[in-house]
């Protein structure tokens, strides 16, 4: 896929998300997000980090987290949230919305996945609707489905996914999961909340694999 197209989507999504965060009330920033153990404030702090991470910082974080990448990410986000106010984080996010820099090991589409999914991680617990643009979400879904990083290959083994709002499908098997592409993306990245809008013979089996997360 054209990297310029991906980057234009990413910049637009980041700026839109910055506007969304800027509109939140103080109590909403302390609401639990869909990321276990992380508030909206923590997720916002995480979103500012992909354009600011360094090799040494990443290595040190992994060592402190005893090799657990997810723990490192969560710990660093909480540390950053403790250092900066919501207004400061929104300003930082806007400041680097146009930066091509990305976290160590991340591909061109990973920051877009991050922005799209974390936008839902903060919006849905607040009861707010945040639409996901069709082009970016289809590209992100195809990337997550084929990537080994997100665990979707194992999660969707033997399952065909069908988007009902886009011309997109992937996978093979006796089971099928159908629904909006955005909810398929949430499920593909391990969010059980995505199941609410999905149907098909594979939905319950995948819910069991996710363990209710």
Q: Span 59-76, mean pLDDT?
A: 68
What is the tens place of the pLDDT at every residue in 105-164? 789 999 999 999 999 999 999 999 999 999 999 999 999 999 988 989 888 989 999 999
**φ and ψ of 174, to 5 deg:** -75, -20
Query: What is the distance between the alpha carbons of residues 77 and 44, in angstroms, rounded to a whole number?
Result: 8
Check residue 90 and give its pLDDT: 97
Contact 161/170 with Cβ under 8 angstroms? yes
Q: What is the pTM of this model?
A: 0.90
pLDDT at 8 > cutoff 50: yes
Q: CB under 8 Å to 8, separation ≥6 — which residues?
A: none
What is the tens place of the pLDDT at every residue in 178-189? 999 999 999 999
Q: Which helix (H) or strand (E) holds 146?
A: helix 134-146
Query: What is the distance between the alpha carbons of residues 180 and 60, in angstroms, rounded to a whole number?
Result: 39
Q: What is the mean pLDDT of the chain?
A: 90
The percent of residues above 70 in pLDDT, for the chain, comes to 90
């Amino acid at each position: 896929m054209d990297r310029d197209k991906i980057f234009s989507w990413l910049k637009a999504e980041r700026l839109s998300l910055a506007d969304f965060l800027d509109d939140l009330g103080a109590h909403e920033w302390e609401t639990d997000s869909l990321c276990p153990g992380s508030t909206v404030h923590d997720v916002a702090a995480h979103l500012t980090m992909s354009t600011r991470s360094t090799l040494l910082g990443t290595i040190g974080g992994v060592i402190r987290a005893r090799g657990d990448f997810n723990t490192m990410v969560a710990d660093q986000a909480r540390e950053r949230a403790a250092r900066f106010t919501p207004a400061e984080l929104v300003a930082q996010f806007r400041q680097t919305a146009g930066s091509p820099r990305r976290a160590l090991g991340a591909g061109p589409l990973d920051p877009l996945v991050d922005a799209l999914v974390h936008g839902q991680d903060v919006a849905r617990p607040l009861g707010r609707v945040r639409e996901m643009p069709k082009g970016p979400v289809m590209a992100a879904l195809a990337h997550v489905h084929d990537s080994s990083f997100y665990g979707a290959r194992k999660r969707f083994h033997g399952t065909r996914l069908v988007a009902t709002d886009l011309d997109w499908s992937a996978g093979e098997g006796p089971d099928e999961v159908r629904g909006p592409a955005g909810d398929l993306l949430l499920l593909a990245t391990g969010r059980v909340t995505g199941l609410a809008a999905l149907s098909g013979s594979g939905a319950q089996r995948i819910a069991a694999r996710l363990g209710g997360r």
